[in-house]
A and B are shown apart, each in its own frame.
Chain A
């Protein structure tokens, strides 16, 4: 909304140029990740594009079953058997799509990191914490001496606030928050350029969550690590992310500066999602009727139209076209144009049957 039509395009183009000049860590173009099932392909990620600059945190939000975790895993090449990937994931000039499992494995750790929701399941209960670090360092930086590895371990743990006196403890001797700190240290000990954090604080209490979020914020400025933060908690995104991508039914429906998007959501889904979040300032209950669609048979055209309070006739008939708003904002919604592509009569309100209250996620 900041500039005219030309301004919007110029702004976007300029941003892309800057991105190219400083070298985006990650460029995702038209990524599709489909699962093969007996009912046909499940389109978990269906045409997703975005860039990530060094040190930038991109929040990825949406309801469960919208493909957030699949996207995160696809970026790291961690997809289950029977998944097909199409599109481009350019990481430091190399395309991760089509890379062999061995090559990807070599990249994971030193270049690509992952922070999980439940840290205990990722730590070997029979291995001392120091041993976990030694294993990771050995695998990816074989030249290090024993003393150097120990030094790096203590340093990494100190960074996340784990006292050196505890490096030789076992995972079960730590609390949930400490374990998540250890996982973060483990993900960052090799200084990866890009990290996916999949709901890193969901299992934690609110105070520990705040600690971990502050820690993540400090670390990315220190290490210049780019991060994709997957979460269902919009509050976390508002407080820790530079930009936010809103995902619905396998597509990014809105992407932009986190403050801008939260202050002035353009896509009806973003707006409804914000309204349905219960926070300390909530005074009335609001929710989106219905549930995210079955991605094996997504609704035609705009996938949100069956639940959208502002759906027009065109929304059910023609695929929406991505539109750039000012400030690098992208929206995938017919409300925002392009208006010359809307067929005659397409702007009329869509008549629908009411969605039953029990049809919900």
Chain B
């Protein structure tokens, strides 16, 4: 994390001063709530948060006591959450959004950074000290079926938080509060549901019960991790509506974790787009969806299938998938998939490998065979940065390899990777591609949002222009 902490801290300060631009104009009550609180106090202040998971190696590694390193599931995240706000954490699987949500509630221990809840530091707090705070911080999980104990009926399941925190005097008082909580989430009449087991309920009813359990202690913050993604389309709207109702009734603040941009757009006041453990763009919902700045946000929005017959699939879908967080790409983590990536985005050896492999799936048979035999084992490209030696195939020369690379480049000059190559040289009997050094992007202000992309950093675009002049044609 060489460049990250400073950038993150700076971004944090700016975020604190940014207020949603729509205060008071939107008729939607949720938006009004959010905006009203927008100028208000900060409920949760997260700074440069890191969560790492140790990698478990094979049995041989464990036997030999070797450490396989760790995955940075959350890799330096900074944001503020205001009271009454709905913040969306949006990203694909592997973006770290769920881990971040769990870390906010202390369900996974952060490796570094700070989470301040109403001014109190949560990072490093022992479970015992954290427990009283759990009354105010609640979580709703993705799978409503799995988040209820199958052997507890609803009366006990929903009332258990009261019992744990010793908040209801006696069985009768508890039952009354459970019944009230059930009716509040629409499980009415409560008598019909008190004795039901999770197995007797439908998915939507289970998620209602989970919401009843989460709200029975009158919490202040609820982290909702994909609360509707396992539910049928026709039920999602009901649960979202219930969440908005509960927010109004109880003055809740939500962190809404999702991969579904449609529900995020509808529900959230602000949205943070996450990619590989970091926030790449954060700002008011209208701006993010109306004028997305980061190329990743743009491609996400373009790829959402819409039930609109006049819209068809986008021509440009970013290639590849979210990379393995254990071997994070250099520079900007999105650069291997980014259609707009340029000189400083962090091009490296394995990007060249991916490019060649992709090309070979499209070539006709003979050409493909010829090219594979010219270049040696592509695995040698992995892990190389800067000047990357390209292996030579059996019986071929370095000049053949360089010529092939030139041919590949000529075949698709628009490919962003070539913007990152200063030159292809032959030296010491090997062909080598010289890549420009990548720079890790930090969040910078762009319009009303903050975005971690060099395209929006004049310093970086200037640097790229100077580098482009160095490039050999």
Do A and B interact directly, with beta carbons closer than 8 Å? yes
Q: Tell me, in angstroms, the Cα distance from A209 to B321 when the chains sit together.
A: 10
Q: Tell me, in angstroms, the Cα distance from A229 to B468 when the chains sit together.
A: 47
- A40: which B residues are within 8 A, CB to CB? none
Question: Which A210-227 residues have a C-beta within 8 angstroms of B?
Answer: 210-211, 213-214, 217
Q: Tell me, in angstroms, the Cα distance from A360 to B235 when the chains sit together.
A: 7
- A280: which B residues are within 8 A, CB to CB? 261-262, 265, 289, 301, 304, 306
List, sorted by A's number, 27 A–B pairs whose CB atoms are closer than 8 Å: A158-B360, A161-B358, A161-B361, A162-B361, A163-B360, A164-B360, A207-B303, A207-B317, A207-B321, A210-B317, A213-B305, A213-B313, A214-B317, A233-B233, A234-B233, A238-B305, A238-B311, A262-B309, A273-B234, A278-B233, A278-B237, A356-B188, A358-B187, A358-B188, A360-B202, A360-B235, A361-B204
Which bracket fits the contact residues of B?
Answer: 35 or more
With contact pairs A239-B311, A281-B306 given, residues A165 and B378 touching in the complex (Cβ less than 8 Å): yes
Contact of A237 among B234, B238, B307 (CB under 8 A): B307
- B368: which A residues are within 8 A, CB to CB? 158, 164
Are B232 and A361 interface neighbours, CB within 8 A? yes
Question: Which A171-189 residues have a C-beta within 8 angstroms of B?
Answer: 175-178
Are B263 and A278 interface neighbours, CB within 8 A? yes
A-B contacts at CB below 8 angstroms, number:
174
For the complex, is A232 an interface residue (Cβ under 8 Å from B)?
A: yes
* B interface list, Cβ under 8 A from A: 92-93, 186-188, 193, 202-205, 208, 231-238, 240-241, 259-263, 265-266, 289, 299-301, 303-309, 311-314, 317-319, 321-322, 337, 357-358, 360-362, 365, 368, 372, 378
- B266: which A residues are within 8 A, CB to CB? 278, 282-283, 285
Are A262 and B308 interface neighbours, CB within 8 A? yes
With contact pairs A207-B92, A357-B238, A361-B204 given, residues A63 and B233 touching in the complex (Cβ less than 8 Å): yes
Q: Give the residue among B186, B234, B236, B321 with the most A Cβ atoms within 10 A.
A: B234
Q: Tell me, in angstroms, the Cα distance from A283 to B203 when the chains sit together.
A: 25
Main secondary structure of the interface of A (DSSP, over half): helix
- A49: which B residues are within 8 A, CB to CB? none
Q: Tell me, in angstroms, the Cα distance from A283 to B309 when the chains sit together.
A: 18
Q: Tell me, in angstroms, the Cα distance from A28 to B205 when the chains sit together.
A: 36
Are B233 and A277 interface neighbours, CB within 8 A? yes
Q: Tell me, in angstroms, the Cα distance from A271 to B430 when the chains sit together.
A: 64
Q: Which residue of A lies closest to B361 (CB)?
A: A158
Are B321 and A177 interface neighbours, CB within 8 A? yes
- Least CB distance, B379 to chain A, in whole angstroms: 9
Are A235 and B233 interface neighbours, CB within 8 A? no
Please name the 4 residue pairs, one residue from A and one from B, whose CB atoms are nearest each other, closest first: A235-B305, A163-B357, A205-B92, A234-B307
Q: Tell me, in angstroms, the Cα distance from A209 to B263 when the chains sit together.
A: 18
Q: Tell me, in angstroms, the Cα distance from A159 to B361 when the chains sit together.
A: 7
Q: Which residue of B lies closest to A287 (CB)?
A: B237
* A interface list, Cβ under 8 A from B: 63-64, 155, 157-159, 161-166, 175-178, 205-211, 213-214, 217, 232-240, 258-259, 262-263, 272-274, 276-283, 285-288, 291, 356-358, 360-361
- A211: which B residues are within 8 A, CB to CB? 317, 319
Q: Which residue of B lies closest to A233 (CB)?
A: B305
Q: Tell me, in angstroms, the Cα distance from A205 to B260 when the chains sit together.
A: 9
Q: Tell me, in angstroms, the Cα distance from A328 to B203 when the chains sit together.
A: 36
- A277: which B residues are within 8 A, CB to CB? 233, 307
Q: Tell me, in angstroms, the Cα distance from A281 to B187 when the chains sit together.
A: 30
- A262: which B residues are within 8 A, CB to CB? 307-309
Are A232 and B232 interface neighbours, CB within 8 A? yes
Are A238 and B309 interface neighbours, CB within 8 A? yes
Q: Which residue of A lies closest to B354 (CB)?
A: A163
- B263: which A residues are within 8 A, CB to CB? 278
- Least CB distance, B62 to chain A, in whole angstroms: 18
- B337: which A residues are within 8 A, CB to CB? 207
Q: Which residue of A lies closest to B187 (CB)?
A: A358
Contact of A63 among B186, B232, B300, B308 (CB under 8 A): B232
Q: Which residue of A lies closest to B261 (CB)?
A: A280
- B240: which A residues are within 8 A, CB to CB? 278, 285
Q: Tell me, in angstroms, the Cα distance from A147 to B236 when the chains sit together.
A: 51
Q: Give the residue among A234, A277, A358 with the most B Cβ atoms within 10 A.
A: A358
- Least CB distance, B90 to chain A, in whole angstroms: 10
Are A207 and B238 interface neighbours, CB within 8 A? no
- Least CB distance, B192 to chain A, in whole angstroms: 8
Are A282 and B265 interface neighbours, CB within 8 A? yes
Q: Tell me, in angstroms, the Cα distance from A288 to B234 when the chains sit together.
A: 6
Are A263 and B309 interface neighbours, CB within 8 A? yes
- B260: which A residues are within 8 A, CB to CB? 278
Are A274 and B307 interface neighbours, CB within 8 A? yes
- A208: which B residues are within 8 A, CB to CB? 92, 321
- Least CB distance, A319 to chain B, in whole angstroms: 24
Are B313 and A360 interface neighbours, CB within 8 A? no
Are A282 and B321 interface neighbours, CB within 8 A? no
Contact of A165 among B231, B319, B357 (CB under 8 A): B357
- Least CB distance, B404 to chain A, in whole angstroms: 16
Are A360 and B204 interface neighbours, CB within 8 A? yes
Q: Which residue of A lies closest to B378 (CB)?
A: A165
- B186: which A residues are within 8 A, CB to CB? 357-358
- B232: which A residues are within 8 A, CB to CB? 63-64, 232, 361
